[in-house]
Structure 1
Amino acid sequence: MIRIMCRYADGQVEMDAPLERLADLLKEAGNVVWVDMQGRSNSQHERILADVFHFHPLAIEDALKDSHVPKLDDYGTYLYLVFHIVALGAEPMDIDTQEIDVFLGPNYLVTLHEDVRRSIERLWNAEHHVEVGLARGPAMLLYELLDAQIDNFIPLIDAFEEELERLGDDIFRIDQEQRELLNRLLTAKSSALRLVRILAPQRELLGRLSTGEYRVVPSQVRLYYRDIYDHLMRLASLADSMRDLASSTIETHLALVNNRMNEVMKLLTMVSTIFIPLSFLAGVYGMNFEHMPELEIWWFYPLIWGVFLSIALTMLWIFRRKKWL
């Protein structure tokens, strides 16, 4: 789906302008155009980017393919940006990432994304662009879009942090299923690492936009990009802290598992140690020899049991004295 919104020089805003008029709308002085391409990339998208906007073939190729890291390329008269947004996946600690490709020109903004984005839908109304949005130029509209995406990171990171705290409590529960807990911890670490890999380059991207490096970004808009950059700095720091927290939680979990295993092995060793001398005595008097004088003594059976109990109690006393129990 391709949507076109145009704000004319007289302040009128037209939504869903015909695709056939796109080239003329871009040429008219004073017009500001927003083209939103939603869905999987196809030949029509490629044709518009190449024949109408005359973007560089490398930029078009990158825009029509997913799985790029966040980046910013300067082509002189326009900028090409790759920005990533995140959302919680099906599992509590799993995150889903999606790419938004953006072309920013002097009088136009082109956005490409596969799924419906709520932040874009909120801005896709004529009333908003009468005084703000397109009225303040495409660079300011891009700021509004990026600011809305950054705001979506905050509840996600808060939920992520709460789940990490719950996992930190669960590792001390003996009845917790160890394999399931370890899987959740590994998912948390992987998701935290993905957040760092997304936020760190996007922080640098916004840092470059907030400088005077690009002529398509007016000087009065750079301050707004600086504000987003500050937000991303804080979010990237939080994501990095959560990655460290997830790693330390895994290490603590593995240390606790090893400690519990050592306790089990210590108990089994003590039980084996207690029964070794008992087994020796039982083995001796279980031998089938005809001349074994103790077998003729009536009180020898209860004496053997007394020896058994004495050995076991003596070893338990030794273990407790050495604080092994």
Structure 2
Amino acid sequence: MTPDFILFATRLDAPPERALMSEPEDIAAALAAEECAWLHMQADDPRADQWVDDNLGYLPEAVRDALNAEATRPRLAPLGDGVLLNLRGVNLNPGAEPEDMISLRIWIDPNRIVTLTRRPLKTVEAMEELYRRGEGPRTAGTFLAVLVEELVARIEEVVSEMDTDADALEEKLLRGGGDGLGTHINDQRAAVVDFRRFLVPQRDAVARLHAVPGPLLSDNDRYELQEAEDTLKRLVEVVESLRERLVVLRDELESRADARLNRNLYILSIVSAVFLPLGFLTGLMGINLAGMPGAEWPPAFWTFTALCGAILVVQLAILWALNVIRPR
């Protein structure tokens, strides 16, 4: 019975009826044999660490420690005929954020492949499905090239969606619909920062990968990895551009908010200027003191009212001239 920390195991170049493996003893023997085999395990299960130490003791200690490490960043370390590789894939699990990238730890040499993840990774699941159908790569080098291509293709899809979202935000802002955009822009900026943190070292690791010497990679494998590197370079450039565009959008949004605030303050000051003299004059009307000018003159009220109306008309004309109250 296969322990639950062993997620998948197969011989690469074997007939379908004997390629897939479930018994730990068969898996250990296949990894130690001349024919290439692939084992995928759950990284955060302590039994996986122990299994690696017990059954893969022929691997360098540095490799075993790296496969069992708690935290990883994309990197490449050639050792002998093999390669220790840490990569990141987008998180396409239900309810997850794609920028919360999943670590994939890899040891690969011409005779064995050992991979570990803490969470399900769609790229690994796609590779497993290929082998279940008997269509998987037959050599370690081709396996690595296909795996990297699948990782990069999924990253490209997510980055393309982010670029499209940024275009939509920009168009909405240009059309004047800035309400609620601040939160969306901040979310996009956070996603871009997370992507960039892993994409840049991943680009550097893949750039070194196709130049690794030794029998692991064929010329065709190196070509495919070169193509993946070129795609990663372009994606890093897109992410850098996205970061700059989102900063500009945020600045524009803040500039418009400041302009609205300044205009509102300006209108308030105009309104205050209109009603201050009127308030002063009407306040005088409420004073009940003997000897007030016009107190004994019957037309005084209507004359005062006409004076207030004239002041109001003059102030409205000024506001019209300043384009404050003109219809748009």
Q: CA RMSD in A?
A: 2.9
49-58 or 260-269, which deviates more? 49-58
Give the letter aligned to residue 47 of structure 2: Q
Per the alignment, do residues 93 and 47 of structure 1 end up closer, same or farther by CA in structure 2, a change over 3 Å counting?
closer
Distance 2:270 2:197 in 1: 50
TM-score computed with the length of structure 2 as normaliser: 0.85
Question: Match for residue 202 of structure 1?
Answer: 202
Q: Are residue 119 (structure 1) and residue 123 (structure 2) matched?
A: yes
How much does 1:177 deviate? Answer: 4.2
Question: Match for residue 148 of structure 1?
Answer: 150
The number of residues matched between the two structures is: 318
How much does 1:157 deviate? Answer: 1.9
SS of match in other structure, 1:289? coil
How much does 1:78 deviate? Answer: 2.5
Question: Match for residue 193 of structure 2?
Answer: 193
In the alignment, is the contact (CA less than 8 A) between 2:98 and 2:158 conserved in 1?
no
In the alignment, is the contact (CA less than 8 A) between 1:93 and 1:163 conserved in 2?
no
Q: Are residue 167 (structure 1) and residue 206 (structure 2) matched?
A: no
How much does 1:158 deviate? Answer: 2.4
Question: Match for residue 14 of structure 1?
Answer: 19
Distance 2:304 2:22 in 1: 102
Q: Are residue 43 (structure 1) and residue 46 (structure 2) matched?
A: yes
In the alignment, is the contact (CA less than 8 A) between 1:182 and 1:250 conserved in 2?
yes
Question: Match for residue 9 of structure 2?
Answer: 4
Distance 1:309 1:215 in 2: 97
Q: 1:52 aligns with which of 47, 52, 55?
A: 55
Question: Match for residue 299 of structure 1?
Answer: 299
Return 5+ residue gaps in structure 1 as ranges: none
SS of match in other structure, 1:116? coil
Distance 1:138 1:186 in 2: 42
Question: Match for residue 24 of structure 1?
Answer: 29
How much does 1:313 deviate? Answer: 2.5
SS of match in other structure, 1:99? strand
In the alignment, is the contact (CA less than 8 A) between 2:123 and 2:147 conserved in 1?
yes
How much does 1:113 deviate? Answer: 1.2
Give the alignment of 1:1-325 within 5 angstroms: 1-2=5-6, 3-7=8-12, 13-29=18-34, 31-38=35-42, 40-54=43-57, 55-87=59-91, 95-124=99-128, 125-126=130-131, 133=137, 135=138, 137-171=139-173, 177-178=179-180, 181-213=181-213, 216-324=216-324
SS of match in other structure, 2:286? coil
SS of match in other structure, 2:298? coil
Distance 1:18 1:267 in 2: 79
SS of match in other structure, 1:96? coil
Distance 1:260 1:59 in 2: 60
How much does 1:273 deviate? Answer: 0.8
Give the letter aligned to residue 123 of structure 2: S
In the alignment, is the contact (CA less than 8 A) between 1:88 and 1:96 conserved in 2?
no
Runs of 4 or more, structure 1, over 6 Å off, are: 9-12, 88-94
SS of match in other structure, 2:38? strand
Distance 2:187 2:119 in 1: 24
How much does 1:286 deviate? Answer: 2.4
How much does 1:118 deviate? Answer: 2.9
Distance 1:8 1:223 in 2: 22
Per the alignment, do residues 246 and 90 of structure 1 end up closer, same or farther by CA in structure 2, a change over 3 Å counting?
farther
Q: Using the aligned pairs only, state the percent identity.
A: 19
TM-score computed with the length of structure 1 as normaliser: 0.86
278-287 or 121-130, which deviates more? 121-130
